[in-house]
């Protein structure tokens, strides 16, 4: 299959690209810089130059492919405080990609997050059947699912807030570690009993390929290995590796302490992947988050830094 991939040079994309190539697929990857283009070509992909704002480029690339995987999101804009702008850009990109595939029966796999389920007001573990009517990133997810009724084999992969591995250099775990170093304390909010799900990068990459190859139209899939890890446990593990004290902070101090993650570290988001595992015969096999932290790579100096 000839697959157009956005975000192929990113965190999950760095695992997905070799997985797709090893499975016999051809990859056409979106690149917005010379450095990204060189890295993608070296990895074995063809390249289309452009960004998420180049809607004509996205549409043309999608129309000429046998399938599309949309991973890219403007995380830099989000972490700089313009989350609404990043969300709006993503929705426009999803609409451009989807419009190019209407009536084709081709697969379109896009990306959302399990944290959106916190807007559903659940008092239990979240499942693939749980949805939210509208909201940031939710609108893009719902737009992709709606394409199933318009002749597109569309599906969504919901990523947990912690997708972890040695490839993770800019996600929430590195931010929590950097915050602990800067503040001199590894903190959690309140009693720290709120839970985040987690998944390994390699497991997530395999799920995207499974969705591309076999997910039924309108599927929502969860790339979750650890159903829910208490934030206190994550903080304790980080503190142990950095030899820093571990401390609870009040909720009204969360934004000052954690910055852009101030709200997120208070969310309770236990999430199951049981339906995903059954639907596409996908099963997480990689190490869990705490064991991955204990391997030490998150705390090792970065070469050239």
**CATH assignment at residue 100:** 3.40.50.720
User: For the CA atoms of 143, 62, 18, 284, what is the dihedral angle to 10 degrees?
Assistant: 20
The per-residue pLDDT for 81 is: 72
Angle formed at CA 232 by CA 228 and CA 234, multiple of 5 degrees: 70
Is 24 within the bounds of a domain? yes
The per-residue pLDDT for 304 is: 45
Contact between 9 and 39 (Cβ < 8 Å): yes
Two structure tokens written together for 150 = 């318009």
Is 261 within the bounds of a domain? no
- Owner of token pair 């480029």: 57
Low-confidence residues of the chain: pLDDT under 70: 79, 302-305
Is 41 within the bounds of a domain? yes
Region label for 72, one of left (φ > 0), alpha (ψ between -120 and 50) or beta (otherwise):
beta
Is 191 within the bounds of a domain? no
Count how many domains the chain has: 1
Is 111 within the bounds of a domain? yes
- Residues near 284 by beta carbon (within 8 Å), at least 6 away in sequence: 199, 200, 203, 224, 225, 273
> Which residue range is the domain that position 69 belongs to?
2-161+200-226+272-286
The per-residue pLDDT for 174 is: 97
pTM, full prediction: 0.96
Count of CB atoms within 10 A of residue 35's CB?
10
Is 264 within the bounds of a domain? no
Two structure tokens written together for 193 = 């009993």
Is 137 within the bounds of a domain? yes
Is 303 within the bounds of a domain? no
How many alpha carbons lie under 13 Å from residue 276 in its C-beta half-sphere? 29
Q: Give Dmax over CA atoms of the chain in angstroms.
A: 57
């Amino acid at each position: 299959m000839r697959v157009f991939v956005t975000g192929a040079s990113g965190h999950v994309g760095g695992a997905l690209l070799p997985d797709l190539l090893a499975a016999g697929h051809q990859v056409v990857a979106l690149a917005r810089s010379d450095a990204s283009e060189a890295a993608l070509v070296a990895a074995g992909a063809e390249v289309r130059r452009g960004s998420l704002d180049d809607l004509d480029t996205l549409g043309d690339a999608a129309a000429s492919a046998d399938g599309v995987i949309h991973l890219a999101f403007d995380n830099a804009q989000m972490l700089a405080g313009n989350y609404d702008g990043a969300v709006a850009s993503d929705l426009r990109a999803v609409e451009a990609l989807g419009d190019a595939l209407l009536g084709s029966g081709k697969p379109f796999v896009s990306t959302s997050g399990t944290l959106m389920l916190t807007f559903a007001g659940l008092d239990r573990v979240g499942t693939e059947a749980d949805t939210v009517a509208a909201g940031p990133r939710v609108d893009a997810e719902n737009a992709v699912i709606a394409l199933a009724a318009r002749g597109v084999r569309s599906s969504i992969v919901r990523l947990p807030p912690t997708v972890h591995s040695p490839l993770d250099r800019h996600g929430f775990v590195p931010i929590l570690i950097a915050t602990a170093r800067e503040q001199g304390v590894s903190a959690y909010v309140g009693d720290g009993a709120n839970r985040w799900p987690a998944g390994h990068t390699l497991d997530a990459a395999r799920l995207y390929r499974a969705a591309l190859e076999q997910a039924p139209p309108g599927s929502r899939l969860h790339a979750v290995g650890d159903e829910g890890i208490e934030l206190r446990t994550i903080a304790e593990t980080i503190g142990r590796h950095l030899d820093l004290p571990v401390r609870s902070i009040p909720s009204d101090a969360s934004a000052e302490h954690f910055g852009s993650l101030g709200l997120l570290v208070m969310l309770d988001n236990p999430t199951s992947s049981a339906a995903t595992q059954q639907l596409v015969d996908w099963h997480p096999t990689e190490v869990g988050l705490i064991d991955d932290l204990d391997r030490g790579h998150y705390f090792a100096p970065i070469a050239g830094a």
